[in-house]
Structure 1
């Protein structure tokens, strides 16, 4: 497994941090393990943690409600450590329910960051807090842009399908 500092540097949220900043962040990382098939994040549950994938593969899915009260899971994406992505990041800033489920597709090792621990770092070190919050904004902005692009593609495809 890569050194925690190297893993953190590859994550957008932490890419602007100095080595000293990363050392501070490393102190709040907690290694957690999930077995294949275990739920890491449950859609519609309260959340207060973000995860960084160290080993294994996860699947992100969302429950779709169909008109006749039936529900089905829609797989949104699969992530590995090479993705350099985080999961559950919205729980660090918004006290809302989880927007999707995350399931371990293989045995996984992740770093967990809790909202309270991150808030403590932000309060104790405002300059570091600004860098982290800027990184979170950058990540969420990228995801929002992608979601907007996806909506345009889907609405265009639907319009074409309905007109033909």
Structure 2
């Protein structure tokens, strides 16, 4: 959750978007050309909700907070409210996805341990 003042439009290349729960990295998405990363920080008062790592060499265009806020301010109030509501829903959905993926990972690890224990007890 570090503070950032910009988002990035990916012109070329690919990035991995992930979050960390209980010291485990949980993949949320892979993004490529034409997609934006970091937009949630612009919408959520600068707090990062995920981390990003380049998978391939990338060319990026910076979208700074000041320009973004100016453009959002210049839009209709109903649009502003809708953007704020959708932003919160996306953040909530990301949290649910991360929790479910973390739970699934724990189930898989438990199953692997059970299989290994069963194998070691076979004649």
Normalised by the shorter chain, which TM-score bucket? 0.5 to 0.7
Change (3 A) 1:160 1:107: closer
The equivalent residue for 1:116 is: 66
The structure with more radius of gyration: 2
Q: Residue 32 of structure 2 aligns with which residue?
A: 80
Which residue of 2 is the match for residue 106 of structure 1?
57
1:52 and 1:159, CA in 2 relative to 1: closer, same or farther beyond 3 A? same
Greater helix share, structure number? 2
1:43-54 mapped onto 2 (5 Å cutoff):
46-53=3-10
User: What residue number does 1:12 align with?
Assistant: none
Q: CA RMSD in A?
A: 3.5
Identify if the C-alpha distance between structure 1 residues 130 and 155 changes in structure 2 by more than 3 Å, giving closer, same or farther: same
Q: How many residues are paired up? A: 109
Q: Distance in 2 between matches of 1:61 and 1:128?
A: 27
| Structure 2: gaps (5+ residues) | 118-123
- In the other structure, the counterpart of 2:121 is none
